[in-house]
Structure 1
Amino acid sequence: MVVREYLHGPLGFKLLARKHDIKSHRQLNNWVNVYKKYGAEGLRRKKNAEVYSVKFKLDVLSFMKRTGASLAETALHFGLTNPSMIASWKRKLLKHGVEALNRPRGRPAMSDKVKNEKNKKHQENNEMTREQKLEQENELLRLEVEYLKKLRAFQMDPEGYLEKHKQLYHSSSKKNSD
């Protein structure tokens, strides 16, 4: 309703945000951009939040770094409706490294002793082997090295790097907008 009022009315972001008690006019701006790209469906809350792979998160952060795109522009490019999620990924990566991007969100649900005992028995049966843990760690380290190589190449020659990878991101953005 607010997005339609902006698109068809005389009020700008700031006045409309004030009128509807929206804390930030930037939020309204994000809604309008999402609506323009994805329609009303893009504004609907998703019941089950999507879980993104570490590689996808690194690709998003790498794209933002290479192109200098804002959080909102990057979110639109990758079909994400919450730009602040990208900022969260960036903070985690800088503070704790690539492994932080693989941690599950939220806090585990609280349960009583019986549930805890059942969970412990179940975990003992399903616990990852040492080899599986090492394989997972190797994969995360490979992704981190790949990301750092791309970052170093970009820092050494930003224009050349962007020109070399321009086609890759133009073709992937067409896929995301379909």
Structure 2
Amino acid sequence: MAKYSDEFKLKIVMEYLSGKLGFKRLAQKYDIPNRSVIQGWVRAYKDFGIEGIHKKIKKEVYSVQFKLTVLNFMKQTGASYQDTAIEFNLNNRSIIANWNRKFLEEGIEGLEEKSKGRPPMSKNPKIKATSREEQLARENELLRLEIAYLKKLKAFQENPNAFLEKHKQRWHSTSKKKDSD
């Protein structure tokens, strides 16, 4: 749900345009934490009309190329977020700020649309569970082998001669059993 309704925004914009109160006084009167919020509403109303202050119901998806074009325009011209939003017919300047931040942090990959939420469930969950169980069993086996290897390595490092003698005896006793079979 939007923090401020469209009717409320329009009321404040009209009150400002009537010239009775400025941004700061309106912010105080209606308990809005920052006057820049009202400035944004007034500017959007002046540039886009009543559509400028309406909250969009459907989330618009922009291509990476469009986002790069917007950011490039802003960099080339030195335009503010608000001026850039007006130039590209966007009624929300903060979206450009988000694109810019993501681009600076992650590069072009940051501008790509990412899927949100949990991935869809598999149509056949038992098969997936079995494969997950197999993966865990395989991982357990590998961990057991790693632990056994590390124990033998430690024993060898502590006393190489005793370790070799012990394993020589085992090797000889197992090879004799094979010969007698």
Bigger Cα displacement from structure 2, 37-46 vs 89-98: 37-46
- Partner Cα separation in structure 1 for residue 30 and residue 79 of structure 2: 29
Task: Give a deviation string over 1:51-104, Cα, whole Å, max 9, x none.
Answer: 011111111111111111111111111111111111110111111110110132
Q: Is residue 7 of structure 1 aligned with residue 17 of structure 2?
A: yes
Match of 2:150 in 1: none
- The 5 Å alignment of 1:81-100 reads 81-100=91-110
Amino acid at match of 1:36: K
Question: C-alpha deviations, 1:22-55, integer Å up to 9, x for none?
Answer: 1211111111111011111221111111101111
SS in 1 for 2:114: coil
Alignment partner of 1:10: what SS? coil
Question: 2: distance between equivalents of 1:35 and 1:119?
Answer: 52
- In the other structure, the counterpart of 2:56 is 46
Whole-angstrom distance in 1 between the partners of 2:32 and 2:124: 43
Match of 1:67 among 77, 87, 90: 77
User: Are residue 116 (structure 1) and residue 121 (structure 2) matched?
Assistant: yes
Distance 2:124 2:40 in 1: 42
Runs (4+) off by over 3 Å = none
Task: State the distance in 1 between where 2:110 and 2:74 align.
Answer: 19
Alignment of 1:99-110 (within 5 A): 99-104=109-114, 107-108=116-117, 110=118
Q: How many residues align?
A: 115
Is the alpha carbon distance of 1:119 and 1:25 closer, same or farther for their aligned partners in structure 2, counting shifts above 3 Å? farther
Question: Aligned to 1:76, which of 59, 63, 86?
Answer: 86
Q: Which amino acid aligns with 2:95?
A: M
**Matching residue of 1:134:** none
For the structure 1 residues 119 and 63, does the alpha-carbon distance in structure 2 shift closer, same or farther, using more than 3 Å as the test? farther
- Aligned-partner Cα distance in 1 for 2:123–2:100: 37
- Of 39, 54, 76, the residue aligned with 1:29 is 39
Separation (CA, whole Å) in 1 of partners of 2:27 and 2:79: 24
State the match for 1:126 in structure 2: none
Change (3 A) 1:97 1:19: same
Can you give the 5+ residue segments of structure 1 that lack an aligned partner in the other structure?
Answer: 121-178
Identity score, percent: 49
Cα distance in 2 between the residues matched to 1:15 and 1:77 = 30
Task: Trace 1:134-173 onto structure 2 (pairs within 5 A).
Answer: none
